[in-house]
Structure 1
């Protein structure tokens, strides 16, 4: 089994806020992330797939094609957008890095060929904070 990772970057804004809580409670739990005027991140997205190399190409999957899928299915929808308001696959979801990584997985999984498997979504929200998602709920 070979693992192939493609890295992409995007910028997006969001606000973490539980509508059932007071402004003070949201600020206590989420800090600056509860800013009424939103805040943004320079995200780094690592998409890892796995499979066996094709004997005719030596590839698990063409890395350029993987990049094109990521850009078309995810990046074009979220780059320079407000995750709370502008992204169709985040509607009604809490816009944490955890939930965003699950939503990205769900978007990509349905666009990959059956001979490769999505292995991991690693999403860096900052250089010091990232989440990893391996599928399943």
Structure 2
């Protein structure tokens, strides 16, 4: 015998603001020319980027996004177009790394030239700024988590420390 349990949501307060997250995976290369370890060599990572957005839960009756902050598909489309399609199977190279930049530009068509060394920290900041500018009105980017490896990541929430 199966018992159907119905949740009585009439007694719970209306959901107003929530966060949702979407993850994408990318394969990319980079180098950190000033680093003391093998990270100063050209090498690659299987990176994971997680974006968490925040906004009001849509309560328009009959709306295809009713009960959602936004459709996960739309967040995925933003991340794929502005992160994945710019860096997947490409290289992130610091503009001050002239030797590697010249070499990589000769051999590759997908190159992200960065203003800062392409560490997980600065790539998280870059991804944050890319995603944030393409979100729909009323949705804010809470943070971006950039996994360089399964055990190492950087979080960026848009705050600038002075």
TM bin (shorter chain) = 0.7 to 0.9
Equivalent residue for 2:88? Answer: 79
Aligned match for 1:66, one of 75, 78, 83: 75
Once the two structures are TM-superposed, the CA of residue 47 in structure 1 deviates from its matched residue by 0.5
Query: Is 2:39 the counterpart of 1:33?
Result: yes
Query: Is 2:126 the counterpart of 1:122?
Result: no
Once the two structures are TM-superposed, the CA of residue 92 in structure 1 deviates from its matched residue by 3.1
Q: Distance in 2 between matches of 1:92 and 1:17?
A: 14
Q: Distance in 1 between matches of 2:118 and 2:146?
A: 13
RMSD (Å) for aligned C-alpha atoms = 1.1
Aligned match for 1:49, one of 53, 56, 70: 53
TM-score (norm 2): 0.73
Equivalent residue for 1:23? Answer: none
Consecutive unaligned residues of structure 2, counting only runs of 5 or more, are 1-16, 61-65, 94-100, 102-110
Q: Distance in 1 between matches of 2:83 and 2:90?
A: 12
Structure of greater Rg: 2
Deviation above 3 Å: which 4+ runs of structure 1?
none
- Larger proportion of helix: 1
